[in-house]
Amino acid sequence: MQEKQILIDNSKINYKIAGQGPAILILHGWGGSSDSWVEVQRILAGKGYKVIAPDFSGFGKSITPPEPWGVKEYVGIVLKLAERLGLDRFVLLGHSFGGRIAIRLTHEHPEKVEKLILCNSAGIKPKPGIKTTAVFVLVRIGNAILSPKYLVRFKDSVRNIFYSFLRKKDYVKANEMMKKIIRNILNEDLSDDLVDIKNKTLIVWGKRDKMVPVKYAYIFKEKISNSELEIMPKIGHSPHLEEPKKLSKIILKFLTDK
């Protein structure tokens, strides 16, 4: 396995590459990096595939974007990476946040995606529950209270407290640019994209996922017509870390099925 860097639009992108054969492009989740997919990458590469796992901009060893990107910009950087690496057509695997990017890329460029694999994928904007609604009402009240100039400096701290209450730890830990990016990302609902996807798709989900509950797996299955669903019973949000061998076996079966 090799680790390399490439300059795309003045942004340094770090990626790992292993194996020879049909290409698989792995897109990691928010807060992760290519490091978290090393074991799956090794297994798939050992079975006759060229496996590329980049660090998204702002994660791992790739530099933070210069401005607050959304899904569109992340799709663009993945497409340019694939072009620079000579990947005309590839299997696309997206986990969590990476699933969002995989969904939009497949929707806009279906000709480039041989098969699509969505692993505990984000992309559907959940309807706010009572707890979330109550918190955002309090946020609006808080914004009004903290509007005087001498109180404005407290806004970020208060916002972090509210996000902590909602268990949005990724937001609280992020730097200022990445906080803007995560707000952009979370505001996008890709439900309509799913309906238009005709590529053969594997949806694989950990049944014990608390971050993106398994109920969304069934919504994905319903919306993507040419899809199959595999539930991993004792697994949470990160099958690639919890059971990499089992996940790889599921992926390989899907790739070899006609």
108 shares its domain with 179: no
> How many other CB atoms are there within 10 angstroms of residue 10's CB atom?
7
CA distance 30 to 15: 16
135 shares its domain with 230: no
Straight-line distance from the first to the last Cα atom of the chain, in angstroms, rounded to the nearest whole number: 29
| Ramachandran assignment for 27, one of left (phi > 0), alpha (psi -120 to 50 degrees), beta (any other) | beta
> How many other CB atoms are there within 10 angstroms of residue 8's CB atom?
18
9 shares its domain with 108: yes
40 shares its domain with 111: yes
16 shares its domain with 83: yes
64 shares its domain with 92: yes
Whose structure tokens read 């309906």?
A: 195
Instruction: Report CA-CA distances (Å) from 12 to 3, 56, 71, 109.
Output: 13, 10, 18, 24
- pLDDT (tens, 9 = 90+) of the chain, 258 residues, equals 999 999 999 889 999 999 999 999 999 999 899 999 999 999 999 999 999 999 999 999 999 999 999 999 999 999 999 999 999 999 999 999 999 999 999 999 999 999 999 999 999 987 654 444 444 444 455 455 445 544 444 445 444 444 444 445 554 456 788 889 988 988 899 999 999 999 999 999 999 999 999 999 999 999 999 999 999 999 999 999 999 999 999 999 999 987
120 shares its domain with 134: no
9 shares its domain with 78: yes
Whose structure tokens read 């020879």?
A: 20
> Which H helix or E strand runs over 154?
none
**Domain enclosing residue 36, as ranges:** 2-125+189-256
198 shares its domain with 178: no
pLDDT at 169: 53
- Catalytic residue chosen out of the listed positions 33, 36, 62, 96: 96
Identity of the amino acid at 252: L
> How many other CB atoms are there within 10 angstroms of residue 99's CB atom?
26
28 shares its domain with 83: yes
> Which H helix or E strand runs over 94?
strand 90-95
CA distance 149 to 21: 60
134 shares its domain with 229: no
Given 139, 156, 183, which residue is the final one in a domain? 183
204 shares its domain with 170: no
We report the CATH number of the domain holding residue 104 as 3.40.50.1820
Give the DSSP letter of residue 9: T
- What is the count of structural domains for the chain? 2
Active site residue 96: yes
